[in-house]
Structure 1
Amino acid sequence: MCTTCGCGEGETTIQAHDHEHHHQGPAHVHAPGLGQARMVQIEEDILARNNGYAAANRRRFARRRMLVLNLVSSPGSGKTTILARTIRDLGNRLPITVIEGDQQTSHDAQRIRETGVSAVQINTGKGCHLDAHMVGHALDSLSPEKGSVLFIENVGNLVCPAAFDLGETHKVAILSVTEGDDKPLKYPDMFHASDLLLLNKTDLLPHVEFDVDRCMAYARRVNPSIKVIQLSATTGEGMDAWYRWLEASRQLAVPGR
């Protein structure tokens, strides 16, 4: 089972443009009737195994001098919209590739491919998050170039992806103003694990009950060092601040490129 929610084992499908690859992801096991101590041991083993794959991914990213961002959020926050707009605005300046994670369908990967960049879809089946082993297999299909930016759009879930290192440079949490402003307190592990919070759909603030200052205060309560950027991927407001953060992060990840 997943270390956090107990999701069941399911076959993972990794879909590139012209082929599919199936494997059983290491982050899921069936464990009916086990005692608490045994469950804790299983969870520790799962995370240790995942961390080994994450370390291998990180070495691959370092050799290629890549900036790798793990985009995490609940469903409907606007991850794919932010990503598609970012690619359209920066695709001529930055080499970009994408890994898309969903339980089913390749809709998001197709949407990203329409922007002109390479994207691999990972379907996790019953799984509620990506793990480092899945990402490593997806990299084999992508072969991103040196000095590039890899976006990993995780499965929509504010719980389980917090525990699984993919080898990324940064986790970027995305929260929309159509959600509760107390989300950082309800899901503290995710916001604690993230280096940046993108507060999306700010164009809807006049129409919803959402206290921006309170949300940012809650986020900084669980993670005092988290950075917050307010934006609307629909209108473009605030996207320049996100692009500046992205470029500065790439400068650090790819010095002297």
Structure 2
Amino acid sequence: MCRVVDLQQAVLAKNETTAHALRTGMAARGTTVINLLSSPGSGKTALLEGELLLARERGVPVAALSADLATENDARRLARSGVPVKQVLTDGLCHLEADMLGRHLEGWLPDSTRLVFVENVGNLVCPASYDLGEALRVVLASVTEGEDKPLKYPTAFGLAQLVVVTKTDIADAVGFDEPAFRAHVEQVNPGVEVVLTSARRGEGLGVLLDRAMAVADGEPAHEPVMGRRHRGHHHTDGSPQTNGSHPHAHPHDCADDPGQSAYVTSAGPSAQPRA
């Protein structure tokens, strides 16, 4: 058991080191990384579609990377916005890691990119433990997932720097209790902002982009209490401190492979899948 724990801690420690380097490198080139986490089917792709279109209208240079176990569907949808989009197929791996993200951004991300949105694999367990070098971590939950979602996934919500509620157009139909949800978020992450959105109605559209731009312009993001204890901190010798919230390693056939990139576009809807 001790050897397993040591391996798990080593995996996370290596990821923290890589994430720190990636964060530093992105900041040096003037690019801000936004990590989007949610359960499958939360509506993050629909929301991101609207945010990318709005960014293009405002003249903000943005890009998006979408990670999934299979299919290129999300990248095709996001590419309709006309911004650079890349699909990463993890071939069964349930999360992105900093090294994987760095390899996919290298040589692809346009130099002028101000914001890069990373749509993580749909999963609120594993991705919560892996820092991707992001400057802003956003956790999304739809109104259909229940008011106690933050209590069931305290690490994901506890490390969020922004919480987004999606599909509010059907909140009444499913009996969503907004005050209860907000109270549960506050319980695991005091002071974090909760934003209500509906991609269908356009409610809350632009708030995510505004918050991302504020961070890009130097405004400090929310600092979770859990984050102060675990995430992104360094020891006095400069070595990263691992996230102690959910340490685990995933043996995988593609563990040394950053994931196959199946769909890449710099031109938007006219681009075709790359073999």
Q: TM-score, normalised by structure 1?
A: 0.81
- 1:182 to partner: Cα distance: 0.4
Find the counterpart in structure 2 of residue 89 from structure 1: 54
Contact residue 33 and residue 115 of structure 2 kept, 8 A? yes
What are structure 2's unaligned runs of at least 5 residues? 221-275
| Residues 62-211 of structure 1 aligned to structure 2 (within 5 Å) | 62-92=27-57, 93-146=59-112, 148-211=114-177
Q: Which residue matches 2:183? A: 217
Deviation at 1:213, TM superposition (A): 0.8
How far has the Cα of 1:38 moved from its partner?
A: 1.0
Deviations 1:124-144 (A, max 9, x none): 112100000110111114223
Separation in structure 1 between the aligned mates of residue 137 and residue 175 of structure 2, nearest angstrom: 27
Shift of 1:178: 1.1
Contact conserved, 2:165 with 2:196, CA < 8 A, in 1? Answer: yes
- Partner SS, residue 142 of structure 1: coil
Q: 1:240 to 1:150 in 2, by over 3 A?
A: closer
In structure 1, runs of 5+ residues without a counterpart are 1-35
**How much is the aligned-residue C-alpha RMSD, in angstroms?**
1.6
Q: Percent identity?
A: 40
AA at the equivalent of 1:48? A
1:147 deviates by 5.5
Q: Write out per-residue CA displacement over residues 3-58 of structure 1, whole angstroms, 9 at most, x where no aligned residue.
A: xxxxxxxxxxxxxxxxxxxxxxxxxxxxxxxxx11111010010011112112211
Are the aligned partners of 2:23 and 2:134 in contact in 1 as well (CA < 8 Å)? Answer: yes
Q: Which amino acid aligns with 2:32?
A: L
Counterpart-to-counterpart distance in 2, 1:87 and 1:147? 13
Deviations 1:198-250 (A, max 9, x none): 11111101200211111111011000031111111111012243343233222
Distance 1:116 1:57 in 2: 26
| Matched residues, number | 219
Counterpart CA distance in 2 for 1:141 and 1:102 is: 21
Alpha carbons 1:192, 1:222 under 8 Å: kept: yes
Question: Which residue number corresponds to residue 6 of structure 1?
Answer: none
Between the aligned partners of 1:135 and 1:59, the Cα distance in structure 2 is 14
CA contact (8 A) 1:67 1:253 kept: no
Provide the C-alpha distance between the structure 2 equivalents of 1:198 and 1:138, rounded to a whole number of angstroms. 26
Give the secondary structure class of the aligned counterpart of 1:199: strand
Letter in 1 for 2:73: H
Whole-angstrom distance in 2 between the partners of 1:136 and 1:184: 29
User: Does 2:12 correspond to 1:47?
Assistant: yes
SS in structure 1 of the partner of residue 71 of structure 2: coil
Residue type of the partner of 1:171? R
